[in-house]
Structure 1
Amino acid sequence: MGKKAFVSIALTSLLVFPVSYQQVYANESNSEAFKNLVEQREEKSLKKDAVDSTAIEKLEETLKTKRFSKANASRSSTSNDYLVEKEFNDDFDYANTLSYSKPTIGQLLPLFDVDFYKIKVPQDGALLVGGATSSESIYLMFAAVEKDWKKSGKLEYLGSEFDVNTEVQVYQAKAGTYYVPVIDEDMTWDYYYDDNTPEDLYSIVTAFVDNVKPGKPTINKVDNNDVKVTGKAEANSTVTVKRGTTVLKSVKATSAGTFSAAIAVQKAGTKLAVTAKDSAGNISSAATATVIDVIAPIKPTINKVDSNDLKVTGKAEAGSTVTVKAGSTTLGSAVADTKGVYSVKIKAQKKGTTLTVTAKDKAGNVSSKATYVVVKH
């Protein structure tokens, strides 16, 4: 954090830790931790939409308002308000466990002391780490890292936000366990300067925010006979089916991730959009489906046809393709107009010839056959 970002906590009294210089490996063996932490930590402004600002504000408020009692601390390593650092904790394998519900209070004594903490991220989301100190003697530096300083890409630093007395770092993290090493930054300067006393304290607090939107739902085939939309979405998410801006139905997906939303029958060609919203309010991108036409056109009507006629006329579904046959021989086809009127050119047919007429819509559904026997002119 450095001198320009000194942070402090208002303390009602001093905290005493059962830590001696002999209990801490405070020597040059921690120089690698200092080096790695300095390299790991970079100053980066946090984008406004990286995480809900309310979560950051809550963490900042926790760091500002917590008060600590010397009496409570001396009796127990925990209190109702906070946890206390436990030595040895100067390596990954000896890291203390951080809590999402309470901050942890620690010291950085003696010279070269480094404290390690670990935190479990329950699922993919944002890990927030906040820090503050009680004294100008500590220039607090901390960061979330993978074990043994590995960089597998599971943890992405999104940036920090500084308030008057606090710093909150935000990371995009995959589910897993991560570590928070803490040092006094003045130990990384060209000269070693240790003015810390047992009364100089720091606080580390963490939070998790589910900021990962559910995956896009899948939608099973929907036709113009269906009275429900089915498919798969994130387990227990709220699935909403829309037509344009109109909400047709919202239902909760099962624990197995399936959903079934009852809707009114929709016209063929209608576009439906389906989204899933998780319990944190994250909304998936929309999956879309077009209602399929599975309803065959009505049976066409046929006007009188005699042995001199060179066309067959009548009515069928508007826009459908009308086909006239004599037995298995196709005599002609034409598209019915917007009013459903058709006129199919044919060769003159003998009296008694049986004609069959069908209409096929754009979806390929074919009507039942209409028949007519050619009469004598």
Structure 2
Amino acid sequence: MRNKGILSLVAVGLFASSLSAGVVKAEGNENGLARKAIEHQVEKPLPKGLVDSKTLNQLEKEVKGSQSKSGKGYSKMSDDDYIFEVEYNNDFASADNSSYEKATIGRLLPLYDVDFSKVVVPSDGFLLVAGTASSYAIDLGFAAVQKDYVEDSNLKYLGSEYEDGVEYRGYDVKKGTYYVGVYDRDNEYDIDNNTSDDMYAIATRFVDDVKPSKPTVYKVDNNDKVVTGKAEASSTVTVKNGSKVLGSAKATSKGTFSIKIAVQKAGTKLTITAKDSAGNVSASASVTVVDVIAPNKPTVNKVDDNDKVVTGKAEANSTVAVKAGSKSLGSAKASSKGNYSVKIKAQKKGTTLSITAKDKAGNTSSKATTKVVKH
């Protein structure tokens, strides 16, 4: 498909002076490899929802030039507005540096010229490349590739779109360095009709669309006033109890976090998420608050040498145990109101009984004692 985009801002004299002097001999072999790599990325539509309209509009402005500059404004173009290709840039080793902030403007001269720009991707995400040409003499072909045209899961072509004179190509990318190769499709037919007035513009945009990994959370008990763990470096970690936010803090550059919270009841389920600087939110991790607080010491009613039960009050639903020395006499569960009644054999006057309460988390109270009295 012939690209019909026209650069609205091209300062021919300034651009020409920004190129290194001398005529560069194009490498026909590299052109052929670039063409094959681009053609291998077959024409298919970008999946819906990958790119928002704001990003597309920004890229369109970059490659077509600001509409506020026209007429005499052409002469005001500078390297503050654009990056100008610098030959020799016909292979990976000599690729020009690019910027996500500025478009790159170049020429495809002489016949079979191919230009490379280096693109550094800071983290896993989505790479969008946009391109257009200043005249019909350039049938612009471009693609993001890996060095030496290596093909693996680090760079996955997703599809392309063509709109208002600009072509867009999208890629799933892993963190690393990539290259945008540019060539004139007319070269395939040995058409040599480009002049120094015919130029292309390429712009790139990286979108961090990868959610952070689910945080790891260390044990939280009902004494704790902080939640700690690990999450994506520099992400913002938030702790919630249901829909209520208990606290948030930024993870360190090593991914550790410590978030202050109010002490929570045992059994409370906390959810923890991490949000990166691009606004991507991780899946939630959860942790249940552990009970580490022992029940209060039970109270014991009077026990005489005729009694076959020990009664009193303890933590609700705790298990109350009665001993004489190391010998277990019996145990029973306290009611929801904390009342207990433990069956025992009648004990001799003067026998010391010890009574303890154990909660369902296994925490045991200090022991209460009582001496058996004469009936």
Q: TM-score, normalised by structure 1?
A: 0.87
**Match for residue 345 of structure 1?**
343
Residues 1:32 and 1:225: Cα distance change in structure 2 (over 3 Å)? closer
SS of equivalent to 1:358: strand
Once the two structures are TM-superposed, the CA of residue 357 in structure 1 deviates from its matched residue by 1.1
1:132, 1:166 within 8 Å by CA — same for their partners in 2? yes
**Match for residue 279 of structure 1?**
277
**Match for residue 320 of structure 1?**
318
After superposition, the C-alpha distances for 1:321-347 in whole angstroms (9 at most, x for unaligned) are 111111111111111121112222222
**Match for residue 185 of structure 2?**
185
After superposition, the C-alpha distances for 1:105-159 in whole angstroms (9 at most, x for unaligned) are 1222333222222122233333221111122232221111110001232222233
* Structure 2 counterparts to residues 76-225 of structure 1, below 5 A: 79-188=79-188, 191-225=189-223
Residues 1:43 and 1:345: Cα distance change in structure 2 (over 3 Å)? farther
1:26, 1:110 within 8 Å by CA — same for their partners in 2? no
CA distance in 2, matches of 1:257, 1:304: 58
1:60, 1:163 within 8 Å by CA — same for their partners in 2? no
After superposition, the C-alpha distances for 1:44-70 in whole angstroms (9 at most, x for unaligned) are 333344355433331122223346877
Is the aligned partner of 1:267 residue 2:265? Answer: yes
**Match for residue 293 of structure 2?**
295
1:59, 1:206 within 8 Å by CA — same for their partners in 2? yes
SS of equivalent to 2:129: strand
After superposition, the C-alpha distances for 1:183-242 in whole angstroms (9 at most, x for unaligned) are 222434xx4444433322210111223333333333232211122222333333322111
Once the two structures are TM-superposed, the CA of residue 292 in structure 1 deviates from its matched residue by 1.1
CA distance in 1, matches of 2:159, 2:256: 37
CA distance in 1, matches of 2:297, 2:210: 53
Residues 1:287 and 1:316: Cα distance change in structure 2 (over 3 Å)? same
Greater shift in the superposed pair: 50-59 or 291-300: 50-59
After superposition, the C-alpha distances for 1:66-91 in whole angstroms (9 at most, x for unaligned) are 46877578xxxx53321222222222
Letter in 1 for 2:207: V
Once the two structures are TM-superposed, the CA of residue 165 in structure 1 deviates from its matched residue by 1.7
RMSD of aligned alpha carbons: 2.7
Residues 1:342 and 1:120: Cα distance change in structure 2 (over 3 Å)? same
SS of equivalent to 2:145: coil
CA distance in 2, matches of 1:270, 1:219: 15
Residues 1:198 and 1:70: Cα distance change in structure 2 (over 3 Å)? farther
CA distance in 2, matches of 1:324, 1:339: 19
Once the two structures are TM-superposed, the CA of residue 280 in structure 1 deviates from its matched residue by 2.3
CA distance in 1, matches of 2:306, 2:161: 90
CA distance in 2, matches of 1:208, 1:334: 65
Residues 1:280 and 1:361: Cα distance change in structure 2 (over 3 Å)? same
Once the two structures are TM-superposed, the CA of residue 22 in structure 1 deviates from its matched residue by 5.1
SS of equivalent to 1:35: helix
CA distance in 2, matches of 1:141, 1:29: 14
**Match for residue 37 of structure 2?**
36
Once the two structures are TM-superposed, the CA of residue 354 in structure 1 deviates from its matched residue by 1.9
Greater shift in the superposed pair: 115-124 or 142-151: 115-124
Residues 1:28 and 1:232: Cα distance change in structure 2 (over 3 Å)? closer
**Match for residue 229 of structure 1?**
227
2:31, 2:183 within 8 Å by CA — same for their partners in 1? no
1:55, 1:209 within 8 Å by CA — same for their partners in 2? no
Residues 1:309 and 1:70: Cα distance change in structure 2 (over 3 Å)? closer
CA distance in 2, matches of 1:49, 1:373: 77
CA distance in 2, matches of 1:206, 1:283: 25
1:51, 1:211 within 8 Å by CA — same for their partners in 2? no
Residues 1:109 and 1:242: Cα distance change in structure 2 (over 3 Å)? same
CA distance in 2, matches of 1:244, 1:310: 47
CA distance in 2, matches of 1:51, 1:70: 30
**Match for residue 9 of structure 1?**
7
List runs of 5+ in structure 1 lacking aligned partners. Answer: none
**Match for residue 239 of structure 1?**
237
CA distance in 2, matches of 1:94, 1:351: 100
Once the two structures are TM-superposed, the CA of residue 9 in structure 1 deviates from its matched residue by 2.4
Residues 1:35 and 1:234: Cα distance change in structure 2 (over 3 Å)? closer
CA distance in 1, matches of 2:168, 2:100: 14
Residues 1:63 and 1:351: Cα distance change in structure 2 (over 3 Å)? same
Q: Percent of aligned pairs with the same residue?
A: 57
Greater shift in the superposed pair: 363-372 or 153-162: 153-162
2:34, 2:182 within 8 Å by CA — same for their partners in 1? no
CA distance in 1, matches of 2:161, 2:60: 10
